[in-house]
A and B are shown apart, each in its own frame.
Chain A
Amino acid sequence: MDEVKLLGMWLSPYSYRVIWALKQKGIAYEYREEDLSNQSPLLLQSNPVHKKIPVLIHGGKPICESSVILEYMEEIWPQNSLLSSDPYERAIARFWIKFADDKICGTKGEEQNKAIEESLEMLKTIEEDALGDKKFFGGDNISMVDIAFGGLAYWPGIVEKVVGTNLLEPHRFGRPQAWTKRFMEVPEIKENLPDLRRIVKKEN
């Protein structure tokens, strides 16, 4: 099989999306941690347009943008499928992945009240419209949508560390909270989460 490399960053939810998908599909890969303030020549060469991670390099060919990478992976390695084969189900999944991209993108731990407000709105939408009573967004098994929302699983922990508030209060958003627990129990996910102890709280 052609060599697989992943250029990532330990705290980026987009980076983790690709890791989780690689693990789910049982694909061996070499991981390289990037310093985004000092990008490697390989990163700059592989992603000259955005100069960002994640970048998947498969057989020497780079693929950029996490949602594009995930679709590519689904086609190249169809085992443990992360996307339905039904066009309508795929459209629904892609809609939620775009929603996750739009809403989670740019929400860093340092963001203030506005981002938190928007996030709460987002969680409400997710609870009502996307998840419903399902175990995972993909149904009984995790799918690309769960992976796209996966940053939600550990990011409130970051917010709590940096800003000091607990975003996912149990009584407020029951279903995303329950989903978060189940998601983090999936072995491939559990073994691949950022070590939050590495975060130092920023003093204002």
Chain B
Amino acid sequence: MVEVEIAKSMAEEVKLFKTWSTPFGLRVVWALKLKGIPYEAIDEDLSNKSALLLQYNPVYKKVPVLVHNGKPISESLVILEYIDETWKQNPLLPQDPLEKARERFWAKFNDEKLLQSIWGVFAKEGKEREEAMAASMENLKFVEEELKGKKFFGGEKIGLADITFGWLANLICVFEEVTGLKMIDERFPLLLAWIQEFSQHPIIKDAGPPHDKLVIKYQALYEKFHPAK
């Protein structure tokens, strides 16, 4: 019995290179935990990247990187799809191809539009910030619309799109606190409800990172972007 267990654990070696705060790494943590996959987390210092990270992700040199039995996979959405195809329990994507396409579309929307616009509000000043705020509101409206009649983007259960939008649940409040700007307010009741549902999920709740630590980090970053005159 013991030999079988050892053989099994040796056969499935999963490592995750990330940082303590990266929302992209956190997505992968959520996916692994939702599927009950044991893994070893390696938190990198991005100002001093490990030789292993550079070896596993030579093209972008970024986190997260998942290494499964010695084989590296980079780019968080690519990793999520790999996890879903390799470990079939608690699927992150639906069976129906059209529904799958919908989830993938919204995951891309988050990464290519929403994230960027909200980051613009955080990092930019003056006219650029105003434009980023306007774009963010437009983008959030689309997301709100998509939630109509649904508990999660994936329907009754958390799926790929939820995991991708998940940063809204733990980082928006940090941004709002640090900038003093409210972004997701009563104009977005469905989003607010989703944030509650998502945050309260036992896997998500326990995964961290701690709110206070995030506030300190983003406060320092904010001051860098907006030095006192």
Most buried by B among A67, A71, A87: A87
Report A66-98 residues with CB < 8 Å from chain B CB: 67-69, 71-72, 75-76, 87-88, 90-92, 94-95, 98
Interface stretch (choices B33-41, B97-105, B118-126, B192-200):
B97-105
Contact residue among B75, B97, B101, B105 (Cβ-Cβ distance under 8 Å from A94) = B75
Whether B74 and A95, one on each chain, are in contact in the complex, defined by CB atoms closer than 8 angstroms, is yes
Q: Report the interface size for chain B: residues with CB under 8 A from the other chain.
A: 23
Mask for A87-131, Cβ within 8 A of B = 1, else 0?
A: 110111011001100000000000000000000000001000100
Q: Which chain B residue lies CB-closest to A76?
A: B97
Q: Does A22 contact B (CB under 8 A)?
A: no
Q: Which chain B residue lies CB-closest to A98?
A: B75
Whether A72 and B97, one on each chain, are in contact in the complex, defined by CB atoms closer than 8 angstroms, is yes
Q: Does A49 contact B (CB under 8 A)?
A: yes
Q: Does B109 contact A (CB under 8 A)?
A: yes
**A interface, size bucket:** 20 to 34
Q: A4 to chain B: closest CB distance in Å?
A: 13
* A91 CA / B77 CA spacing, docked (Å): 10
Q: Does B47 contact A (CB under 8 A)?
A: no
Whether A91 and B78, one on each chain, are in contact in the complex, defined by CB atoms closer than 8 angstroms, is yes
Q: Which chain A residue lies CB-closest to B57?
A: A95
Report B99-156 residues with CB < 8 Å from chain A CB: 100-101, 104-105, 108-109, 142
Q: Chain B residues with Cβ under 8 A from A88's Cβ?
A: 68, 71, 73, 82
Q: A43 to chain B: closest CB distance in Å?
A: 16
Q: Chain B residues with Cβ under 8 A from A95's Cβ?
A: 59, 73-75, 78
Most buried by B among A67, A75, A91, A98: A91
Q: Chain B residues with Cβ under 8 A from A65's Cβ?
A: 104-105, 108
With A68-B105, A75-B97 known as contacts, the answer to whether A90 contacts B85 (CB < 8 A) is: yes
Q: Does B12 contact A (CB under 8 A)?
A: no
Whether B78 and A71, one on each chain, are in contact in the complex, defined by CB atoms closer than 8 angstroms, is no
Contact residue among A72, A87, A125 (Cβ-Cβ distance under 8 Å from B85) = A87
Q: A185 to chain B: closest CB distance in Å?
A: 28
Q: Does A181 contact B (CB under 8 A)?
A: no
Whether B109 and A49, one on each chain, are in contact in the complex, defined by CB atoms closer than 8 angstroms, is yes
Q: Does A64 contact B (CB under 8 A)?
A: yes
Mask for B200-214, Cβ within 8 A of A = 1, else 0?
A: 000000000000000
Q: Which chain A residue lies CB-closest to B95?
A: A75
* A92 CA / B97 CA spacing, docked (Å): 21
Most buried by A among B58, B59, B85, B100: B59
Q: Does B55 contact A (CB under 8 A)?
A: no
Whether A49 and B142, one on each chain, are in contact in the complex, defined by CB atoms closer than 8 angstroms, is yes
Instruction: Point out residues on A near B: beta carbons under 8 Å.
Output: 49, 58, 61, 63-65, 67-69, 71-72, 75-76, 87-88, 90-92, 94-95, 98-99, 125, 129
Give 7 closest A-B pairs by Cβ, nearest first: A87-B85, A75-B97, A91-B82, A72-B101, A94-B78, A91-B73, A68-B104
What are 23 A-B pairs with beta-carbon distances under 8 A? A49-B109, A49-B142, A58-B98, A63-B105, A64-B105, A65-B104, A65-B105, A65-B108, A67-B104, A68-B101, A71-B100, A72-B97, A72-B98, A72-B100, A72-B101, A75-B97, A87-B86, A88-B68, A88-B71, A90-B81, A94-B78, A95-B74, A129-B59
Instruction: Point out residues on B near A: beta carbons under 8 Å.
Output: 58-59, 68, 71, 73-75, 77-79, 81-82, 85-86, 97-98, 100-101, 104-105, 108-109, 142
A-B contact sample (17 more), CB < 8 A, given A58-B98, A65-B104: A63-B98, A68-B104, A69-B101, A71-B101, A72-B97, A72-B98, A72-B101, A75-B97, A75-B100, A87-B86, A90-B82, A91-B78, A94-B75, A95-B59, A95-B74, A95-B75, A129-B58
